[in-house]
Amino acid sequence: MGQTLTEKILDDHLVEGELTPGEEIGIEIDQVLTQDTTGTLVWLQFEALDLDEVQTELAAQYCDHQTYQFDFKNTDDHRFLRSAAGTFGAHFSRPGNGICHNVHKENFAAPGKTMLGSDSHTPTPGGMGELAIGAGGLDVAVAMGGGAYYIDMPEVVSVRLEGELPEWATAKDVILEMLRRLSVKGGVGKIFEYTGPGIESLSVPERTTITNMGTELGATSSLFPTDENTKDYLERLGRGDEYVELQPDDDAEYADEITIDLSDLEPLIAEPSMPDNVVPVSEVAGTDVEQVIIGSCTNGAYEDILPSAKMLEGREIDKKTEMIVAPGSKQASEMLARQGWTAEMMAAGVNFSEATCGACIGIGHVPASNSVSLRTFNRNFEGRSGIEDDNVYLCSPEVATAAALAGEIVDPRDLADDLGDLEDPGFEMPDEYIGVSGSDLIAPDEAVDDDLIKGPNIGDVPLKDPLGADVEGPALLKMTDNITTDHIIPATQDILMYRSNIPKLSEFTLSRVDDSFAQRALDADGGFLVAGENYGQGSSREHAALCPMFLGVEGVLAQSFARIHKANLFNFGLVPLEIDEETYEKIEQGDDVEIVDDVAEAVREGKEEFTVRVNDEWEATATLDASEREREILADGGKLSHTKKKHDAEGGAAPADD
C-alpha cells in the first residue's frame, strides 16, 4: 500500500512504534524552534535536565512576542535567551527581527525535515514540506537534548484542492472555509495533508497561511507536497539547494478526504470570538470598524502586506478608522521600505509597528471599548486583544484593507464596484528576498555568551511530588466547552512578564474565568478542574498546566482535551480524565471529588476506567487515555521528575530519551 507524504516523512524519522493511527510513536526531530514567552522555561528545563549542548541539526531561539520590552523583566528574559542560545548552541534571533514562524520560514525551514516548536503555530512550514509540530516547552527541551518526540500517530486526512481562487478570494479564505466546515476541534488527532490539482495555483507563502492557521482546527499539523513552486520560493530566498521533491504515493490511503473547490470560495470572515465563527463578509457588511491590523504569523509576510499597499496607493483610509501594519519579519519591513511601499501606506494613514506578535496577544494596539477590530491574525479568543468583551474579526489583508478604506466591513468586490478603479491586487512574490542585516540572526559560532545570565525575575521550574494513592479534593472550577489556554494563563503584558517566575504567574491562573480561583486553589491544597469539550485549546504554553500544578490542582475532568495541553498535563503530573456529558452536567463546582482507587498504582498498571465518587453520594466512570510512557511520567510527578529519576538510575550518563 502506498504512503501519504506524512507517513513518508514520519517513516524516515521513526525511532519507536508503528504508523498506526492512535498508537504512540517516537520520532527524531531535526529542527527546534522556540520563542521568548515559552523559551525561558525551555532552557531552564534544558538546564535542569543537565543537558549541555543542543543535539538537533538546528535549534533557533526567537524573541518576538514581547519586543517592546515595557518592563526590565522582558528585557532580562531576552538577555537570558541570548545567553542560553549561546551557551547551548542555538541560533538567536534578536528582538524585533520578526515572528518565529516567519523568520524560520525565511531562513531555516526545509522540505522533508521534522521540527518541534514551543509555539502552537509551529506547523507553518508545512507549506514548504516540513513536518512541523507544536509542543510544550519540556518536550521541546528533551527533543533539543537528542530525545525522541512522542505523539499518538494522527489520522492523515486529505484536503483535496480543486480549481483556482477567484478574484478577491485568498489563501486565508481557504483556511477560514476549513474552520467553517470543521470547527476549532475538527482537527484534533489529525494531520491535514493538502492534495489535488488546486495546489499548483498556490505559492508557498499562500500555503503557509493555510498551514499556520491549521492550528486553529486543533490539528497536529498541516502539510503540502513540494513542487516547482516550493523550488521557486527557496530559490528566491537564496536556498534553492535545499529543495527536495516530496509527493505522496499515487495509491496513498487517507483516513478521510475533504474537497474544496477553490473557485467556489469568496471573501470570508470569522466573527468574534472564535476562529470558527466564519461567515461570508457580505453577511456582516456595514458594521462600523474602528481598527484594522495587518500582520501576525498568518498574514504578516511581505506578500501579505503588498496587496494592502497596492489597494491603498493614492488613497486614504477612513477618518474614524485606525490602521496598523505589523510586519511578520524585519525582512518584510525592510523590503517594503526599500521599495517605497511603506511611504505609500503611511501616506494613506497607516502606522507601522516593529516586527512583533504584539497586538495579537494584547501587547499594544488594544482596541477601544465597544469597538470592532478587524485583524488578519489567526485567533480572536475573547479578551486576547487586551480588553474584555472585545469584538475581533479575522480576515484576509484584502478584506481588512477594504474595511480601512470604507470605515466599515465591506465585501472588497462591492467596494471595487463602488470605487470603480480598485482592482484585485493579486498575490506577488519578490524576484528575490533581500535585506536583513546579519547581526539580527546570531549563529551558534558567532555567540556572544558562554554562560547563562539570569535576572532577578527568572526562577526555577517547580517539581511535583510523585502521584499518591489518594487523589481527592473539591471541584474547584467548572468551565464550559473550548476553554483556551488564554483563559487559563492569559498572555497580556501584565501577566506575560512573569512567564519565568511561576509562583508569581500562578496568581493569575484562570483569572479570566474567576479571579478568586488562584487563592481558592491554594487554600484547598488539592482538587480538580472540570471542563466541557476541547479543554486547553490554543497556545502551547505549558504554563497552563504548570501553574495549576503549582497551586495544588491534581487533576482535570473534561469531556475532551486539546492535544498539546493534554501532553502538558502529563508533563506536569496532573491527571487528565475524560468524563461523559451526563457526568459533566451533574458535577457542580464545590462538589467533593474522589478517585476511588490507589491512583498511583492503577495508573502504572494501565487501568483505563476509574470510578469518580462525588460528595460520597454518586459515582461515575472517568477514562484515562494514556500510553505506558505517559503513565510512568504521570506517576513520577511529571516529565522533569521522571527524566531525572531515569537519569539517576542510569548513573547520570544517558541523555534524556523521553
> Residue 380 binds which one of ligand SF4, ligand MIC, none, with CB within 5 to 8 A depending on kind?
none
> Residue 538 binds which one of ligand SF4, ligand MIC, none, with CB within 5 to 8 A depending on kind?
ligand MIC
Can residue 502 be called a binding residue for ligand SF4 (CB under 6 A)?
no
Can residue 34 be called a binding residue for ligand MIC (CB under 6 A)?
no
- Smallest gap from Cβ 360 to ligand SF4, in A, equals 3
Can residue 297 be called a binding residue for ligand SF4 (CB under 6 A)?
yes
Q: How many binding residues for ligand MIC (CB under 6 A)?
A: 13
Can residue 491 be called a binding residue for ligand MIC (CB under 6 A)?
yes
CB burial string 153-183: b at 16+ within 10 A, e below: bbbbbbbbbeeebeebbbbbbbbbbbbbebb
- Smallest gap from Cβ 252 to ligand SF4, in A, equals 31
Can residue 222 be called a binding residue for ligand SF4 (CB under 6 A)?
no
- Bridge partners (DSSP) listed for residue 374: 292, 393
144: enclosing H helix or E strand = helix 137-144
- Smallest gap from Cβ 328 to ligand MIC, in A, equals 13
Nearest to 390 by CA among 520, 235, 274: 274
CB 262 within 8 A of CB 159: no
Q: What would the DSSP string read from start to end of 393-450?
A: EE--HHHHHHHHHHTB---HHHHHHHHSS---------SS-----GGGEE-GGG-S-S
Q: Between 291 and 540, whose beta carbon lies closer to ligand MIC?
A: 540
- The contacts of residue 233 (CB under 8 Å, 6+ apart) are 128, 203, 204, 205, 429
> Residue 226 binds which one of ligand MIC, ligand SF4, none, with CB within 5 to 8 A depending on kind?
none
Please select the residue that binds ligand SF4; options are 60, 99, 325, 350, rule is CB under 6 A.
99
Cell of 263: 473557485
- Smallest gap from Cβ 379 to ligand SF4, in A, equals 6
Cell of 239: 536556498
Q: Between 297 and 634, whose beta carbon lies closer to ligand SF4?
A: 297
Q: Cβ atoms within 10 A of the Cβ of 407, count? A: 16
- The contacts of residue 347 (CB under 8 Å, 6+ apart) are none
Nearest to 99 by CA among 385, 359, 357, 384: 357
Can residue 492 be called a binding residue for ligand MIC (CB under 6 A)?
no
Q: What is the DSSP letter of 495?
A: H
Can residue 380 be called a binding residue for ligand MIC (CB under 6 A)?
no
- Smallest gap from Cβ 568 to ligand MIC, in A, equals 11
Collapse the DSSP code of 156 into the 3-class scheme (helix H, G, I; strand E, B; otherwise coil) and give the result: strand
175: enclosing H helix or E strand = helix 171-182
Question: Which of positions 332-371 make contact with ligand SF4 (CB under 6 A)?
Answer: 357, 360-361
- Smallest gap from Cβ 383 to ligand MIC, in A, equals 12
> Residue 639 binds which one of ligand SF4, ligand MIC, none, with CB within 5 to 8 A depending on kind?
none
Query: Rounded to a whole number, what is the largest CA-CA distance in the chain?
Result: 76
Please select the residue that binds ligand MIC; options are 73, 105, 113, 121, rule is CB under 6 A.
121
- The contacts of residue 501 (CB under 8 Å, 6+ apart) are 73, 457, 458, 459
Q: Which stretch binds ligand MIC (CB under 6 A): 217-225, 237-245, 535-543, 597-605?
A: 535-543
Can residue 37 be called a binding residue for ligand MIC (CB under 6 A)?
yes
Can residue 539 be called a binding residue for ligand MIC (CB under 6 A)?
yes
- Smallest gap from Cβ 64 to ligand SF4, in A, equals 6
- Chain residues that interact with ligand SF4, rule: CB under 6 A: 65, 99, 119, 121, 296-297, 357, 360-361, 377-379
Q: Which residues bind ligand MIC (CB under 6 A)?
A: 37-38, 65, 119-121, 361, 379, 491, 538-541
